[in-house]
Structure 1
Amino acid sequence: MLTPHDVRRVVDRVPARFESLDERFGRTDGDAFLERLFGDGRWLEGPAYFPAGRYLVFSDIPNDRVLRWDETTGAVGVLRQPASYINGNTVDRAGRLISCEQGNRRVTRTEPDGTITVLAERYRSKRFNSPNDVVERADGTVWFTDPSYGITTDYEGHQAEPEIDGCHVYRVDPSGEVRVAAEDFERPNGLAFSPDEQTLYIADTRLKHIRKFTVADSTNLMAGEVFATCDNGSFDGLRVDAKGRVWAAAHDGLHCFSPEGDLLGKLLVPEIVSNFTFGGPKLNHLFITATTSLYTLRVNFNGASYPK
């Protein structure tokens, strides 16, 4: 009798190459192969894993669609098209999908019945540029970045003039109030909290670095010093593992940094990586969106388990 793993569809496999640059990266590895589960995208982004349904949602921005990969069958289907050029996605603590709609220039939540709730679409009556990536904190606040990629051209959004001066990071309170969390960025992109949610890491793609902020009084960001710089392309999506190590998407794969900002090693990927997430019941199943493809790899470390 076939198990769900047996029927999982794999397009092809490539060797998984972990490159150790520091002895503290020792014994960080996983499967011998990266499995390519899908290879028909234009620019894939925003992977978000739903443990209750055992499926992964991810975006194909230029094709204006959101796709779904089913873990039990391996099937990939279209979840939403048109999709308002959705970029980043996350799953909130109630198991709902939160998405950054570059086309509609807003952040939304998909309810269990499929209806869409708008969480944020304006700041002081002005439309956002094009929300890019999003995370939720245990206190119910939603944090997102707002670069201008979706309004620069029609390739992954709708070309338009910006209404807001600059590209900022925002926080949406449970009350619905939208506040600027940080405003001194060129192109804010991926963001991730430390396991205790007292630190927020934010990538600035144009400046090719990650900044580290302290979350003060559970709401405000302090400091913001440069945490790490990219040695291959630019940083995009970010995640933190259970050890507090920061993993960052880059042009040659995933870069792993110690909590102090030292580059420990890399997982090399054959395409430019945009984003990734941890999935599976133990959060030790990496799902990686890289240019045209969705890759997966079972690893011997775990993603951070955040407070409820």
Structure 2
Amino acid sequence: MMKRASGWMFSLALACGGGSGETTTDTGTGTDPTGTGTDATSTDATGTTVGTDTTEASTSIAPTSTSDPTSTTDATTTSTTTDASTEPATDGTTTTTTGAVDPPMSLDDIVDGELELISDGHQFTEGPIWSPEGFLLFSDIPANTIFRWAEGEQAAPFINPSGNSNGLAFDLEGRLLAAEHGGRRLSRRVVGEANAETVAGEFEGNSLNSPNDIAVRSDGTIYFTDPPYGIQPNQQELDFQGVFRVDPQGQLSLIADDFDRPNGIALSPDETRLYVADTNGEHVRVFEVQPDGQAMGGEVFIDLQSDLPGNPDGMAVDSFGDLFVSGGGGVRVVTPAGQLLGTIEVPEQVTNCKFGDPDGKALFITAQARVYRIRLKVAGA
């Protein structure tokens, strides 16, 4: 079995100039998706299921993935062995696909299809999450709505109001967690129910800024980021932009307070690493997760400066531990050793990405007004 080099760091430093231009409100790159800074409230949000469709396009776009020209990977060692398997297709038939057996050595070992536009006509999309029930949920922050998309259907409003939700996740009981800009809280609800409860809304007597993204450990520990994107400067009560942890007993604690704009957050497959993107810093930092869920360290894992649209934002991890980081022209793919394999290019500025589809081998990508899907040879962690 082919193995990648490990134990060393690779940092890409392209020409600076793709900064966020961030003012005070969010997109992960500097514009306010709500247009208003959103209202601050500490009360529970309610949600209703509605059925108005949005415009959907089933457009396939020519492959746009590119290998990183600065990568040190030897072209003679980029092939990988794959196995063939028969899987159900979306139309009920079967199709033979290939799945990666060895860790990917290049984007050719990762990408297995064309970029497909699955939903359009939104205001600002974020927080994609695949449900085990077979559908995708994603946030439209300024629309104050969580949308639902399933194969063969148009995306339709699912929860409104959503508290101007950003990142979404499921807890161990299958309940929906939402990082709410408007509610300034981390909320939780049973999928399909109107009412949501507050998991975390303040720290040491002060309101949170505007929770942004979420990662959940297998023991129920919740990690989330809290930049000030969804509020105005005069609304900020904390004097820092933090990364937080909620333990399985519901106790909130601070992991780090030295970020500029903490944004996307993800765990490695073995849950020993916690990755956090700092959008304004244009890098991803890494923390070592302790058995009790505490996270230590926080050094820079990889520098992702770029003059292309977007800075590091939402992230996803595949089964090999590769990190998929939105920003810099699309989705950047980084190995656990910190080597940049290349970029899955997207025509709009990307805000987030998550694995999905029944086999876990699709990457769903939110990009401002649109949502895309691209089939991969690797599955999500």
TM-score, with length taken from structure 2 = 0.73
**Separation (CA, whole Å) in 1 of partners of 2:367 and 2:63:** 14
- The 3-state SS of whatever aligns with 1:218 is coil
In structure 2, the CA distance between the partners of 1:122 and 1:194, relative to structure 1 (3 Å rule), is same
Task: Indicate the residue corresponding to 1:186 in structure 2.
Answer: 260
**Separation (CA, whole Å) in 2 of partners of 1:63 and 1:283:** 28
**Separation (CA, whole Å) in 2 of partners of 1:88 and 1:66:** 10
Task: Indicate the residue corresponding to 1:263 in structure 2.
Answer: 340
**Separation (CA, whole Å) in 1 of partners of 2:170 and 2:185:** 17
Task: Say whether 1:25 aligns with 2:127.
Answer: no
Where do 1:227-246 residues align within 5 Å? Answer: 227-232=301-306, 233-246=310-323
In structure 2, the CA distance between the partners of 1:196 and 1:124, relative to structure 1 (3 Å rule), is same
Task: Say whether 1:250 aligns with 2:327.
Answer: yes
Q: Among 163, 177, 193, which residue is 2:237 paired with?
A: 163
Per-residue CA deviation, residues 31-85 of structure 1 (Å, 9 max, x unaligned), is 4421111111121100011022x111101112221111022x3221101222211
What is the identity, as a one-letter code, of the residue corresponding to 2:302?
Answer: A
Task: Indicate the residue corresponding to 1:3 in structure 2.
Answer: none
Q: Among 355, 362, 366, which residue is 1:278 paired with?
A: 355
**Separation (CA, whole Å) in 2 of partners of 1:17 and 1:288:** 14
- What stretches of structure 1 move > 3 A for 4+ residues in a row? 29-32
Say which is worse superposed, 231-240 or 203-212, in terms of deviation. 231-240
Where do 1:97-112 residues align within 5 Å? Answer: 97-112=176-191
Q: Among 144, 147, 150, which residue is 1:64 paired with?
A: 144
Where do 1:59-208 residues align within 5 Å? Answer: 59-71=139-151, 73-112=152-191, 114=193, 115-152=195-232, 160-208=234-282
Where do 1:282-293 residues align within 5 Å? Answer: 282-293=359-370
**Separation (CA, whole Å) in 2 of partners of 1:164 and 1:61:** 22
Distance apart, 1:10 and its partner CA: 3.8
What is the identity, as a one-letter code, of the residue corresponding to 2:342?
Answer: G
**Separation (CA, whole Å) in 1 of partners of 2:277 and 2:113:** 29
- The 3-state SS of whatever aligns with 2:174 is coil
- Report which of the two structures shows the higher radius of gyration computed on alpha carbons: 2
Say which is worse superposed, 230-239 or 285-294, in terms of deviation. 230-239
Task: Indicate the residue corresponding to 1:11 in structure 2.
Answer: 58
What 5-or-longer segments of structure 2 have no aligned partner? 1-55, 74-104
RMSD between superposed Cα atoms in Å: 1.6
Q: Percent identity?
A: 38
**Separation (CA, whole Å) in 1 of partners of 2:227 and 2:368:** 19
Per-residue CA deviation, residues 212-268 of structure 1 (Å, 9 max, x unaligned), is 110123322222110111233410001111111111000410001111111111100
Verify the 8 A CA contact 1:11 1:39 in the aligned structure 2. no
**Separation (CA, whole Å) in 2 of partners of 1:28 and 1:253:** 18
What is the identity, as a one-letter code, of the residue corresponding to 2:184?
Answer: R
Verify the 8 A CA contact 1:18 1:29 in the aligned structure 2. no
Verify the 8 A CA contact 1:56 1:68 in the aligned structure 2. yes
Verify the 8 A CA contact 1:10 1:74 in the aligned structure 2. no
How many residues were matched structurally? 288
Per-residue CA deviation, residues 270-306 of structure 1 (Å, 9 max, x unaligned), is 01000011012321011110111000111111111xx
**Separation (CA, whole Å) in 2 of partners of 1:31 and 1:301:** 9
**Separation (CA, whole Å) in 2 of partners of 1:111 and 1:58:** 16
Verify the 8 A CA contact 1:203 1:236 in the aligned structure 2. yes
Q: Among 81, 105, 118, which residue is 1:37 paired with?
A: 118
Task: Indicate the residue corresponding to 2:23 in structure 1.
Answer: none
